[in-house]
């Protein structure tokens, strides 16, 4: 089973002293060539602060984000699950995971980065700034990543739960995956997709799956477990499950 998460715009600073990015140590080695190309394009762009700020959608007070990108090869690294911050990752509370839960997350949680492609939760990465809609010189992120990431997800033999935003899913569609849609239910029973609260709900759901440490091999297994836990996870549209909050 894989849970595929989106990244976050915000990243935690720091990392282990003396550590640095090792591309060859990252999971999914078939993406190494694409990672090298994206890193090279981003570092080249970041030599010009004004151009980089425009391409990355940064404001005048965010110069440090560009300087981060200049130092990608030498900056200290953290596990991906700890590097990302924001609402989804607040809900996941990675800092409080036990060693056993961390191991489970490393095997079953994947984060889709615009810079690195697919990352396992335990992969060590530096802080960076690059979003799905960033504009790199001579490199379209969608055209670059789609033919590389989609086959990786399509060829996975187990259950794939897609918790990505639509924007990140477009960088690597996974037609065989099951998409988790966060919804609320009104007084009439009509379900409405949520925007503001969907990230927190996805983080909390992922945390619950990690805590249970069950490698579900089917949707039926996942739904049975959810019912036992008091989590409202229900069949939705074809290829989707509704997480009702």
The confidence band for 185, taking pLDDT boundaries of 50, 70 and 90, is: confident
Mention every residue, 6+ apart, whose C-beta is less than 8 A from residue 74: 20
On the question of pLDDT at 189 being above 80, the answer is no
Instruction: Identify which has the larger pLDDT, 197 or 78.
Output: 78
- For position 188, what pLDDT does the model report? 76
By C-alpha distance, which of 49, 31, 62 is closest to 125? 31
- For position 46, what pLDDT does the model report? 94
- In order, the DSSP letters of 125-165 are E------TT--BTTB-HHHHHHHHHHHHHHT--S-EEE---
Structure tokens at 24: 């060859």
The confidence band for 101, taking pLDDT boundaries of 50, 70 and 90, is: very high
Parallel/antiparallel/unpaired status of strands 124-125 and 78-79: antiparallel
Name the percent of the chain lying above pLDDT 70.
Answer: 99
On the question of pLDDT at 186 being above 90, the answer is no
The region of weakest confidence among 76-80, 120-124, 191-195, 239-243 is 191-195
- For position 183, what pLDDT does the model report? 94
On the question of pLDDT at 52 being above 90, the answer is yes
Phi, psi of 204 (to 5 degrees): -65, -40
Mean pLDDT of the region 69-88:
96
Mean pLDDT of the region 21-40:
97
Mean pLDDT of the region 29-41:
97
By C-alpha distance, which of 169, 17, 5, 159 is closest to 88? 5
- For position 191, what pLDDT does the model report? 83
Average pLDDT, the chain: 95
Indicate the domain borders of the chain. Answer: 2-244
- For position 108, what pLDDT does the model report? 98
- For position 60, what pLDDT does the model report? 86
């Amino acid at each position: 089973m894989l849970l595929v998460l989106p990244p976050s715009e915000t990243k935690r600073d720091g990392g282990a002293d003396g550590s640095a990015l090792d591309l060859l140590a990252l999971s999914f080695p078939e993406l190494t060539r694409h990672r090298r190309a994206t890193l090279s394009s981003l570092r080249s762009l970041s030599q010009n602060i004004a151009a980089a700020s425009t391409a990355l959608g940064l404001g005048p007070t965010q110069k440090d984000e560009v300087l981060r990108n200049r130092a990608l090869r030498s900056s200290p690294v953290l596990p991906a699950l700890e590097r990302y911050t924001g609402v989804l990752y607040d809900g996941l509370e990675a800092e409080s995971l036990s060693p056993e839960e961390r191991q489970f997350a490393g095997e079953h949680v994947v984060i889709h980065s615009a810079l690195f492609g697919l990352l396992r939760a335990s992969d060590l990465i530096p802080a960076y700034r690059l979003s799905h809609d960033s504009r790199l010189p001579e490199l379209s992120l969608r055209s670059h990543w789609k033919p590389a990431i989609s086959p990786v997800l399509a060829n996975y033999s187990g259950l794939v739960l897609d918790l990505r935003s639509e924007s990140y899913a477009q960088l690597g569609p996974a037609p065989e995956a099951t998409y988790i849609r966060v919804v609320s239910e009104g007084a009439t029973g009509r379900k409405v997709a949520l925007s503001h609260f969907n990230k927190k709900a996805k983080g909390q759901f992922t945390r619950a799956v990690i805590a249970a440490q069950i490698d579900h091999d089917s949707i039926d297994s996942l739904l049975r477990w959810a019912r036992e836990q008091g989590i409202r996870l229900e069949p939705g549209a074809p290829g989707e499950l509704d997480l009702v909050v």
